[in-house]
Amino acid sequence: MMTAQILDGKACASQIEKEIIAEVSKISRPPHLVVVIVGGDPASKVYVGNKIKTCKRLGIRSTLIEKEANISEDLLKSLIQELNDDDDVDGILIQSPLPNHLDEIMLTDLIDPLKDVDGFHPINLGRLVQGRTDGLIPCTPFGIIRLLNYYQIPLQGKQAVVIGRSRIVGMPMSLLLASQGCNATVTITHSKTEDLAEVVKRADIVIAAVGRAEMIDNTWIKPGCVVVDVGINRVDDASHERGWKLSGDAHPNVSSTASWVSPVPGGVGPMTVMMLMQNTVTAAKIRRQR
């Protein structure tokens, strides 16, 4: 019976934080991140608050623009255009999810790729397809690679199974793991995958990015496997004062079989925020060098 070691995202993020602070101090003008939030989704507000707070700690300038949930698409388009044209702005982030009447993909595609600190623009995702990993990389997969490197988890030649194929996590994660530098052998799985448990059982590294609480349990896991749990799921829990807790996509019992597990919360989440900071600094540097 194994008890997995913890891939501590907080510890890793605080190490990277020091490096970013040093990087920021060498730039003449602090990098400037603009975060746009539309509507009052409570979870989004918490995420955005966290990003702004982290900017402050790192010496990154931030501006929060809050818009009413019923804002028209045209107004939002002109806001993005203004931010693109503003030389004082290094990074633009439109907090997801947007209200249903707004086309999120179309709107994020309007962001200047050089200011696309989320890394979701087709140009930035396309660069990843080309194997170019020196630009703006989606924060969650980028953070996961940094976390695995921090704990010196071997990736080269290993079997990595990514569960989920989203534009935000699964697909860029798969590309990064397969890229030169990581050199993992990658299997991309999704909602239509047959015998998912059997596929996962072959993995040396599992990245779970589905959004289903405790879906992956220890019967799916090869002994010694590394489990990175991306899922953030709210589940009822009467033992908590607020009546709910956060749970990952992996069942806690995976710890009995895996060698390493990332906790939820405290694993991938802090790394995602730190990579947003990293991308903001990178965006500032790239734009100012041009």
Binding window for ligand NAD (CB under 6 A); candidates: 12-20, 50-58, 68-76, 187-195: 187-195
CB 13 within 8 A of CB 274: yes
Applying CB under 6 A, does 71 fall inside the site for ligand NAD?
no
Size of the site for ligand NAD (CB under 6 A): 23
Binding window for ligand NAD (CB under 6 A); candidates: 11-19, 77-85, 103-111, 162-170: 162-170
Q: Out of 168, 226, 250, 275, which residue is the one contacting ligand NAD (CB under 6 A)?
A: 168
Q: Is 204 a catalytic residue?
A: no
Q: Out of 16, 83, 196, 205, which residue is the one contacting ligand NAD (CB under 6 A)?
A: 196
CA-angle at 36, arms to 82 and 134, nearest 5°: 80
Q: Out of 63, 84, 166, 253, which residue is the one contacting ligand NAD (CB under 6 A)?
A: 166
List the interface residues with ligand NAD, window 83-142 (CB under 6 A).
140
Q: Which is nearer to ligand NAD, 119 or 269 (CB)?
A: 269
Binding window for ligand NAD (CB under 6 A); candidates: 30-38, 68-76, 178-186, 267-275: 267-275
Burial 15-41 (b: 16+ CB within 10 A, else e): ebbeebeebbeeeeebbbbbbbbbbeb
Minimum CB–partner distance for residue 198 and ligand NAD (Å): 13
Which residue, among 225, 211, 204, has the nearest Cα to 264 in the 3D structure? 211
Per-residue CA distances from 268 to 30, 118, 130, 166, 256 (Å) = 26, 15, 25, 16, 20
Q: Which of 118, 204, 229, 249 is catalytic?
A: 118
Applying CB under 6 A, does 266 fall inside the site for ligand NAD?
no
Q: What is the rounded distance in angstroms from the CA atom of residue 249 to the CA atom of residue 259?
A: 17
Kindly list the residues in this chain that would bind ligand NAD in the complex (CB under 6 A).
Answer: 140, 163-166, 168-170, 189-191, 193, 196, 209-211, 230-233, 268-269, 272
* Catalytic positions, written as ranges: 51, 95, 118
